[in-house]
Amino acid sequence: MDFKQALEKIDRERFFGEEPFASKKTLAAIYSPTYAVTCPYLFTIALAENAIENGVELLLDTEVVDLKTKDGRVSEVVTSKGIIKSSLVINAAGVFADDIAQMAKAQEYTIHPKKGATILFDKQTAKFINHPMSHLKLPKKQHYKGGGVMVTVDENIQWGPTQRESDDKNDVSVSESDLEDIFNRYTMLIPDFPYAKLIAYFTGLRASTFTEDFIIRPARSIDGFIHVAGIQSPGLTAAPAIAKKVLGIIKDMNISLKKKDGFVAKRKKPVVFRDCTSKRKHELVKQNEMYGNIICRCETVTEAEIVNAVHGIVPARTVDAVKRRTRAGMGRCQGGFCLSKVAEIIARERDVSVESVTKKGDDSFLFFGKAKCLLSDNTD
Ligand SMILES: Cc1cc2nc3c(=O)[nH]c(=O)nc-3n(C[C@H](O)[C@H](O)[C@H](O)COP(=O)(O)OP(=O)(O)OC[C@H]3O[C@@H](n4cnc5c(N)ncnc54)[C@H](O)[C@@H]3O)c2cc1C
């Protein structure tokens, strides 16, 4: 596709027909018909589930802590749950890719995370924006990372992300200045936007290298080790092309690969109750009464969907894992009403105590005992 096909100039009249709430200072717009929005976590979960159906073994909550080499080649991956023998390792560890490469004595770059803060608005604001938009400042004086205002696949409006260097690979905090930065940049695009309807903000870390480019190649100093590092934006979009490139590298290593017989190309879509017709909803409730019990009122998520997620192909074991599969807790109240109910369902289905259920793994515990015990004499 050439440049002319990829972009289209839109005059003011057509632009305001499509985007009536945009700033009246807009002179013209450029439309990119090939631009698309996906849901990064549902996309990734779908790929992981499909990989498992095709024979991949996925180890959750398993940290790579060391890599062993023998005769100039990787030989073992040491994990928090045991050793995996392997003569081929693909290093796709995001912001930690340089640390993993160092374990294999193949550190050929360093990762310098760049924080990207984003804010999310209530679905009620969806009418204010019909297309992802950003402003183009002319003349272009410096390189700046995209970002803009957009509608997510779930019809929330999202503003951002920012770009800020960080020296902490675990810092996903959002500061006051991040929020100011976003508001300063985008309120001018949609002046009457009801920005008090903000419901959430969060940060992601881009795995940047000093060359600001993807590093997809075999290690120079050790055999059997492939770098897939520096995969910052647009790494998600580029993922299928990156996979093809890695496949080519493996072939060049003379490792014989056999096409899988009976490859499962499709994945069964989970039931999304809120999207069903009334007739289908009645059928579902008849089949399983847990479809009649709404746990998340903001997003209309049923008990049955949460149970399905907990027992899914990639099981959801934490409150955030359930949230990313079902949207329970992603609505206006951000889990204020349903969080404890979701935790109880996870505990019940996994046969563990509710106190052991975490927000997102590790020590992100949500409960520390029963509140009413504080009223009794026995406060131990
Ligand atoms: C704010 C922001 C906006 C973005 N916007 C876009 C966009 O619009 N379009 C687009 O295409 N891309 C976008 N991206 C980029 C995209 O998210 C990344 O390119 C993509 O997630 C990189 O995937 P990855 O698998 O290489 O790394 P990651 O997604 O970071 O995955 C790395 C994995 O390795 C695991 N790991 C690390 N160390 C260890 C260890 N020692 N043991 C076990 N596991 C380990 C981590 O837990 C993680 O699961 C954006 C990124 C950010 C931060």
**Across residues 179-183, what is the average pLDDT?**
94
- Provide φ and ψ at 357, rounded to 5°: -75, 130
What confidence tens digit (pLDDT) does each residue in 61-106 have? 999 999 999 999 999 999 999 999 999 999 999 999 999 999 999 9
Domain 59-111+211-252 belongs in CATH node 3.40.50.300: no
Q: How confident is the model at residue 34 (pLDDT cuts 50, 70, 90)?
A: confident
* C-beta of 146 in contact with ligand 1 (< 6 A): no
* Tokens read off for 14: 């057509």
The DSSP symbol for 124 reads: G
- For residue 353, pLDDT beyond 60: yes
Query: Ligand 1: which residue has its CA nearest to atom 4?
Result: 233
Query: Ligand 1: which residue has its CA nearest to atom 39?
Result: 93
How do the residues of the chain divide into helix, strand and coil, expressed in percent and rounded to 5?
35, 20, 50
* Tokens read off for 207: 């795995």
Query: Ligand 1: which residue has its CA nearest to atom 27?
Result: 94
* C-beta of 232 in contact with ligand 1 (< 6 A): yes
Q: Which atom of ligand 1 is nearest to the CA of 231?
A: 19
Q: Which atom of ligand 1 is nearest to the CA of 62?
A: 43
Residue type, 293: N
Q: How confident is the model at residue 377 (pLDDT cuts 50, 70, 90)?
A: low
- For residue 379, pLDDT beyond 60: no
* C-beta of 131 in contact with ligand 1 (< 6 A): no
> What per-residue confidence (pLDDT) applies to 370?
76
- The single residue listed with the structure tokens 């005992």 is 369
Q: Where are the beta strands (DSSP E) in the chain?
A: 8-10, 29-31, 64-70, 73-79, 82-85, 89-91, 114-121, 148-151, 157-160, 164-165, 198-206, 215-218, 225-229, 294-296, 301-302
Q: Per-residue b/e over 226-256, b at no fewer than 16 CB within 10 Å?
A: bbbbbbbbebeeebeebeeebeebeeeeeee
Q: Are the C-beta atoms of 159 and 197 separated by less than 8 Å?
A: no
What confidence tens digit (pLDDT) does each residue in 205-226 have? 999 999 999 999 999 999 999 9
Pairing label, strands 225-229, 89-91: parallel
**Across residues 116-141, what is the average pLDDT?**
89
Q: How confident is the model at residue 11 (pLDDT cuts 50, 70, 90)?
A: very high
The residues facing 29 across adjacent strands are 10
Q: Which atom of ligand 1 is nearest to the CA of 161?
A: 1
* C-beta of 29 in contact with ligand 1 (< 6 A): no
Residues written for the chain = 380
* Distance from C-alpha of 140 to C-alpha of 285, rounded to nearest angstrom: 57
State the chain's mean pLDDT as an integer.
93
Query: Ligand 1: which residue has its CA nearest to atom 1?
Result: 116
Taking the centre of ligand 1 as the mean of its atom positions, its distance from the CA of residue 179, in whole angstroms, is 22
Neighbouring CB atoms inside 10 A of 284's CB total: 19
* Full DSSP string of 286-353: HH-GGGG-EEETTTTEEHHHHHHHHTSSS---SHHHHHHHH-TT-STTTTTTTHHHHHHHHHHHHT--
Which of 354, 351, 346 lies closest to 329 in space, CA to CA? 346
As a whole number of Å, the end-to-end CA separation of the chain is: 70
> What per-residue confidence (pLDDT) applies to 243?
97
Neighbouring CB atoms inside 10 A of 101's CB total: 26
Query: Ligand 1: which residue has its CA nearest to atom 43?
Result: 63
Which of 204, 112, 102 lies closest to 162 in space, CA to CA? 204
* C-beta of 163 in contact with ligand 1 (< 6 A): no
Query: Ligand 1: which residue has its CA nearest to atom 44?
Result: 63
Dihedral angle computed from the Cα positions of residues 350, 356, 359 and 363, in that order, rounded to the nearest 10 degrees: -140
Q: Are the C-beta atoms of 321 and 364 separated by less than 8 Å?
A: no
Taking the centre of ligand 1 as the mean of its atom positions, its distance from the CA of residue 86, in whole angstroms, is 24
The DSSP symbol for 271 reads: P
pTM of the shown model: 0.92
* C-beta of 205 in contact with ligand 1 (< 6 A): yes
- Structural domain boundaries in the chain: 59-111+211-252, 114-206, 273-371
CATH number of 114-206: 3.30.9.10
Q: How confident is the model at residue 251 (pLDDT cuts 50, 70, 90)?
A: very high
> What per-residue confidence (pLDDT) applies to 1?
54
